[in-house]
Amino acid sequence: MIVGGAQENTLFTLRGHLEHGHETALITGPTDGPEGKLLEQNPLPGLETVVIPDLCRNMSLLADWRAYRQLAEHFRAVPYDVVHTHSSKAGILGRVAARKAGVPVVVHTVHGQAFHRYEKPWKNRLYIAAETMAAKRSDRIFAVCQAMIDQCVEAGVAPASLYEVVYSGMELEPYLEATPDPALRASLGIPEGAPVVGKIARLFELKGYDHLLTAMPTIAAAVPEVRFLIVGDGLLRGWLEAEVAKLGLTEQVVFTGLVAPATIPQYTALMDVLVHLSLREGLPRTVIQALATAKPAVGFALDGTPEAILDGQTGIICPPEDAAAVAAATIRLLQDEPLRHRLGDAGRAHARAHWDWHLMVDQLEAAYSTLLAPTSR
């Protein structure tokens, strides 16, 4: 339960179930890594939490086998009506264990694919085989966007009839109500009136920071007063700072480091444009949050991004890995204030209509009820 999109989705789902009076438990592995601990920052009173030490993020045949055995034993001991899994490895081990233990309804949410165009072919074959095996043990598979379903069906994981889109809900109110904070702006060293291009993501591979670095000099040449606000932390921090220095842009790039999730709306409110350049991500939550703050976004035509960034309506979509197109789109938005505001207003309405977490919980619980009807205990 690090700070991340799939984890936030899970947390809101749990919160909704608890508020509706359901007996609800979270089964998770240990929370390690520089991203932060989501549950510590957002505790849920009354939530039962079961930690499986061997349910780790990295592949390990021995640990994975032990985690599967522990999960199966737990599911046999506790009479759950529904087991709902999230994330790739937990989704595979959890579904197989739940079905083996005889849980009446087993469902899964696809947040992003383990298999993708940037992975090694042999790994993709392995991941697709594992997902196909787990799908056979699923009563329903939810996906945070239609793109995830299309990719699974194309890969032969399962037929389209097994899937259902449930947009990944989030708490929109803090973003809908967020306004720029001059004190925060000053603390970050961003001059008053300077346009801000923001990116919110872990500083990891495949998050698109190399493409942003390529686009930065062009953007800075066209809009010399621009500032780039990088919100997040990760293993690439040192490398990114060194590359920014090589470009001579140290004074124009602000690294916030890890910030509390509750403070993200304050940072988003400082931005004029958000860039989302991840090469592998189911639904870009930071894009939805930016749209809710009435900020247009620029992103690649990958995964669920085009379902959030409606090209020419809530932002601008660029060909994947095309840094020149990203630079041109960002410059256009920075230089055209009426366009920026028009797209931002449309983005806010788009976010409000589709991504409120209450809508997600209601849709999931309706699906549970339908699936439980013939098998309820």
Q: CA 146 to CA 166: how far, in whole Å? A: 9
Tell which CATH architecture fits domain 5-169+356-372: 3-Layer(aba) Sandwich (3.40)
Is residue 129 over pLDDT 60?
yes
User: What span, in angstroms and rounded, lies between the C-alpha atoms of 132 and 130?
Assistant: 5
> How far apart are alpha carbons 259 and 244 in whole angstroms?
21
Closest CA to 43 of 20, 24, 15: 15
Name the percent of the chain lying above pLDDT 90: 79
Angle between helices 285-292 and 337-354 (to 10 degrees): 110
- pLDDT, tens digit, for every residue of 299-342? 999 988 999 999 999 999 999 999 999 999 999 999 999 999 99
Per-domain residue ranges of the chain: 5-169+356-372, 173-354
Q: Count Cβ atoms within 10 A of the Cβ of residue 220 and give its class: 0-12 exposed, 13-18 middle, 19 or more buried.
A: buried
| Residue 35: predicted pLDDT | 67
Query: What pLDDT digit, counting tens, does each position of 38-57 carry?
Result: 888 788 888 999 999 999 88
Beta-carbon-side half-sphere exposure of residue 293 (alpha carbons within 13 Å): 26
Residue 246 pLDDT: 97
- Residues recorded for the chain: 377
- 146-156 average pLDDT score: 93
173-354 is classed CATH 3.40.50.2000: yes
pLDDT value at residue 4: 73
Determine how β-strand 315-318 pairs with β-strand 297-300: parallel
The pLDDT score that the predictor gives to residue 377 is 46
Q: Do domains 5-169+356-372 and 173-354 have the same CATH topology?
A: yes
Mind listing the pLDDT tens digit for each residue in 253-262? Answer: 999 998 988 8
Element (H, E) at 50: strand 48-51
